[in-house]
Structure 1
Amino acid sequence: MKLIRKILFPLVPIYYLVTWLRNKLYDLGIKKSVSYNFPVICVGNLSVGGTGKTPMIEYLIKLLKNDFKLATLSRGYKRKTKGFQLADVNSTAESIGDEPFQFYNKFKNDILVAVDSDRNNGIKNLRNLENKPEVILLDDAFQHRKVIASFNILLTTYNNIYTEDFVLPTGNLREPKSGAKRANVIIVTKCPNDLKESEKVVILNKLKLQSYQFAFFSSIAYSNEVFSNDTSKNFESLHDFTLVTGIANAKPLVDFLEAKNLRFEHLDFKDHHEFSQQDIVLLEKQELIITTEKDYMRLKQHESLKDKLFYLPITVVIDNKIKFNELIKQAVKH
């Protein structure tokens, strides 16, 4: 893959120009964007791959759900349906996508969960509901320029900060680095728990924040237990098991489990992997399966895996979270 990316380097200027021009047309108002008179918070990134958008959305849900009527709006990546879909008791990972299905399973009594590749159409449908939301969280919509979010949160990973990357196809950037100027907040995600202040200064210098921007650092906290629908297990009870992942970067999870001195075999699938019947037959042969919460949403529909399938939840820990929380609450009150 790295060789192919190097070979495709001559295409980088073309991709750069096309995405830069698209953004410029929106900036100049030639291409139409829509703003709203209620809070719309966008969580996204410049890079392809996992920067931690799902746990960040969940953090915002927990922060806001008790004070506002809240909705999440996602594209619903790899779902089998089209158009606007509002999650309900009949929804599955196939009908709304694995991440929205995860939001619905965890917060269905507190929020609305919707999907629509046309975010403006999704917002319109949500606001036409009798129990319309007061705040909408846009999941992975930083490049969806048809919507002018009232507050933009840009995520970039500690191990691959966007300032040191290239645009596709050689690098991982969906658009030029200058797109970061649209962000109100930039969060460096998946940081080591012992990140030093001196290293934060180095990273901040690389980000070159605008006067209106704020930066934060976050890390991942793993649960001390794994869960299924009706039970849980602590790590002491886990012996040999199979780790199944279909996420962009499984290394932090693997490192965490290895640090616990746990013995496991790792079946590493690509991000948003659609598990085939052949895959399920393979998983049925395993005695105990630990997976991510996102993958669990796709696998739990298989009755044959019910008694052996568990997931490990994660949460986001934000450095200086009091200031961050205040910024978010100010954004939704304006």
Structure 2
Amino acid sequence: MPSLLTLLLLPFSWLYAGVAAVRNWLYDTEWLATTAAAVPLINVGNLRVGGTGKTPHVAWLVQLLLDAGQQPAILSRGYGRDTRGFRLATAADTAATIGDEPWQHYHEFAGAVPVVVDEDRRHGLAELETLPLKISAVVLDDAYQHRRVQPSLNVLLTEQARPFWQDHVLPAGRLRESRRGARRADVVVVTKCPPTWSEQARREAAAAVHRYTRSNVPVLFSAYEYGNPVAVSGSAAGSGPKPGAEAVLLTGIAQPQPLIDYLRGAGYRLAQHHRFADHHAFTAAELMAVADSLAPGQVVLTTQKDAARLLEPTLRTAVALLPLFYVPIRVRFLADGAQRLQKLLAPLFIPRTVA
């Protein structure tokens, strides 16, 4: 049942949703133009603000394309960066110049996948096409509401713990547009599911999704797999902490609860959680405070996305005081989800392979 605050905010949500609906109608009826590209555009986005798992799902798709012999690029807004306009990531960039998620993608693929940022995705695509790069696909990171570009495949993510069909439009909820926006999706992925989520629960979730999507849209389910902690820098050394270790958690992401649940379930003892807002720009003073709070033998665990911001040159001295490790995340699809997604992607590349 909605809370009293939610009920009070609903009129403002209806106004917000109405403005978004008019904008979508203008694009749907072609009063406002959309732009396609010379290569397939695969958009990974969501209806809500905050963490639904876009970053690891983008990485999963990019790796799938690489394994299929394609040469993808990633185009992101570069949220939280200190720069503006078009920018092609290089080894000299940091999270401050291109954003933490693009920086993570660039380093995860060791520079083998072009990563570009531009708040105007249409301009970004046009600039990307001028570069001397052999690109067979572009993965758009978080462009579901960026209607000026026309994706070849719209991948809509929704978090299992707070799915779009149970949410409201801002400010009463977290949706950027009404639930009807799901009708633009070509495939829906329910993310962060329990790895052993039952078939019955998946069927019920798929039925809820299909109240808002086209009837033939596939509904897939994914879970997170966590790897062994990886040393970031500073006083972290050796093979990293093992389950049973006492740890302090440091996060600046929207939804840290899945990581907390994993760490506790794996046997880590969490003494403290220093939690900051999504895309938080850490300061040296904050890290010094974390260092001062550590008891002997404790380690600091963080996410890979947070690690991107913690490696800023201005934080080098403060980070050196921390036994700091990040916990890597990978996506695993439940049941036959990976194969079904591969089948959806395959037709896009039959006539378009890189020589």
Out of 153-162 and 4-13, give the one that drifted further.
Answer: 4-13
Deviation, 1:231, is 5.7
What does 1:1-334 correspond to in 2, within 5 Å? 5-66=6-67, 67-208=69-210, 209-228=213-232, 233-236=239-242, 239-264=245-270, 265-285=272-292, 286=294, 288-301=299-312, 302-304=315-317, 305-306=319-320, 308-319=323-334, 320=336, 321-333=338-350
Would the aligned equivalents of 1:226 and 1:290 in 2 still touch at CA under 8 Å?
no
Would the aligned equivalents of 2:37 and 2:125 in 1 still touch at CA under 8 Å?
no
Q: Distance in 1 between matches of 2:7 and 2:237?
A: 48
Which runs of at least 4 in structure 1 moved beyond 6 Å after TM superposition? none
Q: CA offsets, 1:100-132, max 9 Å, x none? A: 000011113321001000001111111111114
Deviation, 1:152, is 0.5
Scaled by the length of structure 1, the TM-score of the pair is 0.94
Q: Distance in 1 between matches of 2:135 and 2:48?
A: 29
| Amino-acid identity (%) | 38
Q: 3-state DSSP class of the match of 1:148?
A: coil
Q: Distance in 2 between matches of 1:254 and 1:28?
A: 45
Out of 95-104 and 229-238, give the one that drifted further.
Answer: 229-238
> Aligned letter for 1:248?
A
Q: CA offsets, 1:239-266, max 9 Å, x none? A: 2221101111111111111112322211
Q: Distance in 2 between matches of 1:5 and 1:28?
A: 32
Q: Distance in 1 between matches of 2:346 and 2:71?
A: 14
Going from structure 1 to structure 2, the CA distance change for 1:27 and 1:237 (only over 3 Å counts) comes to: closer
Deviation, 1:236, is 2.5
Q: CA offsets, 1:285-325, max 9 Å, x none? A: 34521100000000123223146221000000012112222
> Aligned letter for 1:298?
R
Q: Distance in 2 between matches of 1:332 and 1:119?
A: 22
Scaled by the length of structure 2, the TM-score of the pair is 0.89
Would the aligned equivalents of 1:81 and 1:96 in 2 still touch at CA under 8 Å?
yes
Going from structure 1 to structure 2, the CA distance change for 1:247 and 1:63 (only over 3 Å counts) comes to: same
Would the aligned equivalents of 1:76 and 1:96 in 2 still touch at CA under 8 Å?
yes
Root mean square deviation, CA, Å: 1.9
Would the aligned equivalents of 1:167 and 1:174 in 2 still touch at CA under 8 Å?
yes
> Aligned letter for 1:279?
E
